[in-house]
Chain A
Amino acid sequence: MGFRTRQIHAGVTPDPTTGAILTPIFQSTTFVQPSVDEYLSKGFTYSRSGNPTVRALEMKLADLEGGVDAACFGTGMSAILATMLAFLENGAHAVVSDVAYGGTYRLSTKILSKFGVNYTFADTSNPDDVAAKVTSDTKMILTETPANPTMKVSDIAAVSEIAKKVGAVHAVDNTFLTPYYQLPFELGADISVHSTTKYMDGHNATVGGAVISKTQEHADAVRFIQNSTGTVMSPQVAWLTLQGCKTLSVRMDAQSASAMEIARFLEGHPKVKQVAYPGLESFAQHELSKRQASGFGAMFWFEVEGGVAAGKKLMDNIEVWTLAENLGSVESLITHPVTMTHADVEPAERARVGIIDGLVRASVGLEDTEDLIDALKVALDAI
C-alpha cells in the first residue's frame, strides 16, 4: 500500500473491546497479568518495557521506514544515545558526521567519550574522508543527512558500503527528510534515527524520538538498551505523534513546495549573500539530493549581507516567522545556530564545518507562502 494509506493505518487497529477508531491512550504504569503462568500473555507488563499506545506508534514508524521494528524514546537525543549504547562500548570507535545537530556533537565529545568511546568526526558528504577515518575498531557510522544546519548531504549508499566493509553499523539520522522523502534502508543503511518532535509530530506539541532497525538483531539490541536505561516515550506523546503522522506526507509536500519558493525568492534578493537549499540548482549537492531522496524538505539556511549584525536584526524584527528552536512544525521558525542550537560546538569546529556566524536557519511551516515571503521582504528591507 502507498505511503499515504500507511501513514494513516499502519500500526493502528480499532480497539477490540469498544471499537474505538483511535488507539486509546494507555496512561497506565502497569498491566494486570491473568495469572503467574500467563505472565506477559497480553504483551505488556510495565510501561517502561512497553506500552500499547507507544507500541502502535512504533509499528507505524517501522512500517513507514521499511524496517522490522522501531523503539520510541522520550526525545530524539535519547534515541541517538540508545543507538550509540547499543552498538558501541569502551574502546570502540565511531565515525560521526562533522556537521550534525549540536546535541549529537555534545553527547559524543562530552558524555560518551568519558566512557572510553572514541569518536572521529568526518565529512560524511565526502565518502573518501569517511573511508580514511574508519579503523578496525569502528563499530558505527552516524550520518546526518541533510545535516543540521549546513544542509550538507551525505551519500547514504556510499557511506553504507564503507560501513559494510569494516563491519560497522550505519545509522542515519533521517529527521530532516522523514521516510516520506528518504528511505535509508533501501540505500544500505542499518538504522534510522528520528527526532519525532519534528515532522512526525509536526505541531510543536511533543518531544520524542525513534530508532528504526532493518534487522531483528539490531532492534533487539536497541530495545535492550531502552528497557535498561528507561528512556521511554510517554503514552500521551505517542498518541499525539500518532495523530501527527497521519498528515506527514501532506505537510511535507506543502512545506517543501513553500521552502522551494522562498529559497528562490531569497536567492534573487540583493541583500542575501547566499542560500543553501538542496532543491536549488545552485546547491552543490543538488544532483545527489535528487538521486537519493524524492523531495528536498523544508529546511534551508541563508546569510544576509552585513554579517552577524544584519542577521540578528532580521531575526529580531521579522513577523510571522518565529524565533525559536525546533524545526519541522507547521509554524515557520527561524534560528541562529551559532547562539542557539549549535552553541555547544567549539567556534573553531563550527568555522571548520561551515556553520558561519551569519547563518540563519529556516524551518518552513504551513503558513501561506506569500505571507512568509512578504514577512522576509519587510525584514530584509529594514536592514
Chain B
Amino acid sequence: MSKFLNFDTLSLHAGQTIDPVFGARAAPIYQTTSYVFPDTDTASSIFNLERGGHAYTRITNPTVGVLEQRIAALEGGSAAVCTSSGMAATFCAITAILSQGDHIVASSQMYGGNISLMKNTLPRFGITASFFDPTDIDACKAAIQDNTKLIYGELIGNPGLDILDLEAIADIGAEHNIPFMVDATFNTPYLCRPFEHGANITIHSVTKWMGGHGMAIGGVVVDGGNFDWGATDKYPTITVPYAPFQGINLWEEFGPSAFATRIRAEAMRDIGPSMAPMNAFLLLQGLETLSLRMDKHISNTLQLIEYLENHEQVTWVSHPSMSSHSSHELAQKYLPKGAGSIVGFGVKGGRDAGRAFIEACDLASHLANVGDAKTLIIHPATTTHSRIDADALVAAGITEDMIRLSVGLEDVQDIMADFDNGFRAAKRVAGG
C-alpha cells in the first residue's frame, strides 16, 4: 500500500489494519476483558514488554489501539496512549515523569480541572506548580526552578482564549532540558500540530472536537518522540531501569516512545484509567470527519463573531481571530486555519443578564462541555471555573458577565435567531 501522508487520509486510515480474519472494513469493537494466549512463552513475553500483544484490556485493547495510532499519526507523534478522560490523560502524563519534590511551571489560563489538579491534588503528593500569565514569556522563564520538570499550557487558553507562544516556551524548555507539554484540546491536530513548534508532549480531551459528537468521554497522551530524556538525570522514570519489568531501561529499549511506554507500563497497569473499547469506536467515527467539522466550526464561528460584534446587547467579544485580540498575531502564526470555535462575550447587564440570556436560548444547550457538534453556552464564573478563587478567576481571564460559547455545526442563521431570543430576554433584565 502506498504511503498516506495527508491529514484527511490519515484521519480515515491511520492505525487500522483490515481485520485479517473476516476483512471487516470498520475496526471491530473488541469488547473483551482478556485475550487467550497461544502458549506460555508468548504470554510471558507480552507481560515483560518483550513483544507487542494484548493481555488485558486495562493495558491494551485492539480497538483502542487503532484510535491511539490514528491520533499519533494525525499529531505527528511517535506513540499515543488513550485514557478514560482528558483529566486522566493529564494526570498520567504528569505522574509518568514527575515525583515528590518536583515542580511544574504552568499557564494560568487553563481549564479549571487542570488548575485544580496542579493547585490542590498534586501538592498532596509533593508535586507543586507555579503559574504564569501565558502572554508573558518572561514570567514563564522566571518561574523555572531547579526542581522544575515540566512546562505545561493550553495552546488556546480556556476560557480567556490567549494563545500560548509555543516556540518561545519550547525554547525555554529546551534551554533547561525540560519537556513542554501542551493541552491541545481546543485546536486539535487539524488546526495546529504543537510538535512542529517544539512541544514534546500533547494531551487532548478527545471528548471534545476529536470525537465531536458529545457521545464519549476520553483522553489521549501523545508522545512527540522529540525529547532527549537521557540528556540529564532529571527523568529517572524513563532512564533508570524499571524494577517491575525486570529492570528494563525504557529510554534504551523504546527511545522516541519511551515516555508513552512508561504511561502504558505504569499508569495503565497500576492506576488503570483505560478507555472503553466502545468509546474508542465512537471516537474513531468522529475522527473520520474531523477536518470537515473543524472547517464548518470555524466558518460558523467567524460569522457569529461578526453577528455578536454588531449586536447592541453585547459589551465585548473575544476571539483570537479578531484583530482586537491581544493574541491575534500568535493566532495567525500557530492557527492559520482558524483559532478554534470557542468565543467569549459579555452581555450588557452583567451577571443577571448573562443568566437571562442563557436561559432564554433554546437551540444552544446550556452545559459544561465544549467541542460538541451542537452549539453550547455556559457561564464560566458560576460553573466550570467556580472552584477557583477570585484572583485566579481574573488570572484565567474570566469576568462575571462572560458567556463562553462553543460554536456548533448548526445552520448559523438558526444560531443567530436563537441568540436574538436570548438577547431580548437579557435586555428585559438589563433594562434600557
> Residues of A with Cβ closer than 8 Å to B?
14-22, 24-34, 42-44, 52, 239
Q: Which residues of A contact B30 (CB under 8 A)?
A: 15, 18, 20, 22, 24-25
Contact A24 B26 (CB under 8 A): no
A interface majority secondary structure: loop
Is B28 part of the binding interface, using a Cβ–Cβ cutoff of 8 Å? yes
A30: chain B residues at CB < 8 Å are 25
- Bound-complex Cα distance A28 to B63 (A): 13
Given A24-B31, A26-B24, A30-B25, the answer on whether A17 and B19 have CB atoms closer than 8 Å is: yes
Q: Are B31 and A19 in contact (CB under 8 A)?
A: no
Cross-interface CB contact of B22 among A21, A44, A239, cutoff 8 Å: A44
| B168: min CB distance to chain A, Å | 45
B36 contacts the other chain (Cβ, under 8 Å)?
Answer: yes
* B23 at the A interface (CB under 8 A): yes
Most-contacted residue by chain A among B19, B24, B29 (CB, 10 A): B24
Chain B positions within 8 Å of A, measured between CB atoms, are 18-38, 53-54, 62-63, 281
User: Given A26-B24, A33-B23, A44-B23: A21 and B34 within 8 A (CB)?
Assistant: yes
Cβ-defined contact, A18 with B31, below 8 A: no
Contact of A21 with B25 in the complex, beta carbons under 8 Å: no
Q: Tell me, in angstroms, the Cα distance from A196 to B334 when the chains sit together.
A: 55
Judging by beta carbons under 8 Å apart, are A14 and B22 in contact? Answer: no
Known: A32-B25, A44-B23. 19 other contacts (CB 8 A): A14-B35, A15-B30, A18-B62, A19-B35, A19-B38, A20-B54, A20-B62, A24-B28, A24-B29, A26-B24, A26-B26, A27-B26, A28-B19, A28-B24, A28-B27, A32-B18, A42-B23, A52-B24, A239-B31
Is the Cβ of A19 less than 8 Å from the Cβ of B37?
yes
A268 to B25: give the CA distance in the assembly, Å.
60
Q: Knowing A18-B62, A19-B54, say if A24 contacts B32 (CB, 8 Å).
A: yes
Q: Which of A21, A26, A31, A239 contacts B36 (CB 8 A)?
A: A21
Contacts of B25 in A (CB 8 A): 28-32
24 contacts between A and B (CB under 8 A): A14-B35, A15-B30, A18-B62, A19-B36, A19-B37, A20-B62, A21-B33, A22-B31, A25-B30, A26-B22, A26-B26, A26-B28, A27-B281, A28-B19, A28-B24, A28-B27, A29-B25, A29-B26, A31-B23, A32-B18, A32-B23, A32-B24, A52-B21, A52-B22
Q: Is the CB of B35 within 8 A of A18?
A: yes
Closest to B24 in A: A28
Given contacts A25-B29, A27-B28, contact A43 B36 (CB under 8 A): no
Q: Indicate if the CB atoms of A15 and B21 lie closer than 8 Å.
A: yes
Distance in angstroms between the alpha carbons of A239 and B53 in the assembled complex: 24
Shortest distance between the CB of B322 and any CB in chain A (Å): 43
Question: Which 10 A-B residue pairs are closest in the complex by CB-CB distance?
Answer: A28-B26, A19-B35, A25-B29, A24-B28, A28-B24, A22-B32, A32-B23, A14-B36, A20-B32, A31-B23
CA distance A266 to B21 in the complex (A): 54
Residue pairs across A and B with CB atoms within 8 Å: the count is 90
Alpha-carbon gap, A42 to B62, bound state (A):
20
Closest to A46 in B: B25
Determine the chain A residues whose CB is within 8 A of the CB of B18 once the complex forms.
32
CA distance A44 to B24 in the complex (A): 8
Residues of A within 8 A of B33 (CB): 21-22
B21 and A17 within 8 A (CB): yes
Contact yes or no, A28 B54, CB < 8 A: no
B22 touches A42 (CB 8 A): yes
| Neighbouring A residues of B32 by C-beta, 8 Å | 15, 20-22, 24
Provide the bound-state CA to CA distance between A34 and B18, in Å.
10
Expressed in whole angstroms, the Cα–Cα distance for A42 and B22 within the complex equals 5
User: Does B24 lie within 8 Å of A17, measured CB to CB?
Assistant: no
Chain A residues, Cβ within 8 Å of B35? 14-15, 18-21
> Given A18-B62, A21-B36, are A43 and B22 also a contact pair (CB < 8 Å)?
yes
Bound Cα distance from A21 to B56, whole angstroms: 10
User: CA–CA, A34 to B21, complex, Å?
Assistant: 11
Report the separation of the CA atoms of residues A22 and B31 in the bound assembly, to the nearest whole angstrom: 7
Q: How far is the CB of A117 from chain B (nearest CB, A)?
A: 37
B26 — which chain A residues lie within 8 A by C-beta?
26-29
A201 to nearest B CB, angstroms?
Answer: 16
Known contacts A14-B36, A21-B35, A27-B281, A34 near B23 by CB under 8 Å: yes
Residues of A within 8 A of B37 (CB): 19
Q: Kindly state the separation between the CA atoms of A43 and B20 in the bound complex, as whole angstroms.
A: 12
Closest to A22 in B: B32
Closest to B57 in A: A20
CB distance from A48 to the nearest CB of B (A): 14
Q: A17 contacts B23, CB within 8 Å?
A: no
Question: Smallest distance from the beta carbon of A150 to chain B beta carbons, Å?
Answer: 40
Q: List residues of chain A with CB within 8 A of the CB of B20.
A: 17
Residue in A16, A27, A31, A43 whose CB lies within 8 Å of B29: A27
